[in-house]
Copies of this chain bind each other. A is one copy, B any other.
Amino acid sequence: MDIKEMLNLVKSGEMGVDEAQKILKDLPYEDLGYAKLDHHRALRSGFGETVFCQGKPDEYLVEIYRKFFERDGEVFGTRAVKEQFELVKAAVPEVTYDPISRILKVERKNKERTGCIAVCTGGTADIPVAEEAAQTAEYFGSCVDRIYDVGVAGIHRLLSNRERIGRASCIVAVAGMEGALGTVIAGMADCPVIAVPTSVGYGASFHGLSALLTMLNSCANGISVVNIDNGYGAGYIATQINRLAVR
């Protein structure tokens, strides 16, 4: 119901002034006191709200999973640890946990997936972040093609996957250390590249700062960047783009 509709109802007397005032103020979130769950989100953006598990107090976490599952029949959270999995499982037995991506979720069966997102990594150590991206994209309905361990230090590994890269409507490039993967891929592809720096490395990698700066300063066109280790964010944006492409 939009404002105009409502105002017509007020005018016609079908809706009281107080009621209208309340609606204008009251937005469709559920207030748990410590948290405000945004059930309206799926309507607004086409994506349900998700849970960032890291550092959530136990009682809050369990309650939030239960609330979401009750209302939506599914729930998706990132950066969970095994202890959180066990806690939530006690309340929501349907929940599953992937220790690589650290995703804790209940997913409805038989969801359809469309389009094509390529998720690439520089090395094997970048796979956990890549899986967070890939599984996020899949949860929100995208097909994902995983192309792992194709870092630029052995350029032939990347070149031999040229065709698969060419098929994607959006590419997620996950790399730590010197983080040059995104640039080379963006030079080969003509679709948007979402670059994810990872904290993989040591010394002057400064926990991902080096890869982050590399990606921001890319001399290639068509590359934008998300926070260090933010696989979720990359998977989300890639899905937004993928949806536009398959519309």
Interface residues of A (CB under 8 A from B): 3-4, 7-8, 10-11, 13, 17, 20-21, 24-27, 29, 33-36, 38, 41, 44-47, 50, 52, 54-57, 60, 100, 122-125, 127, 148-157, 159-160, 169, 177-180, 183-184, 186-192, 194, 197, 199-230, 233-234, 236-237, 240-241, 244-245, 247
Contact = CB atoms under 8 A, between A and B. Distances in A.
B204 A228 contact: yes
A244 B242 CA distance: 8
A178 B26 contact: no
Given A17-B7, A47-B221, A153 B216 contact: no
A34 B203 contact: no
Top 9 closest A-B pairs, CB basis?
A203-B228, A180-B180, A153-B220, A224-B224, A210-B213, A45-B190, A27-B156, A244-B245, A153-B187
A240 to B, nearest CB: 5
A54 to B, nearest CB: 7
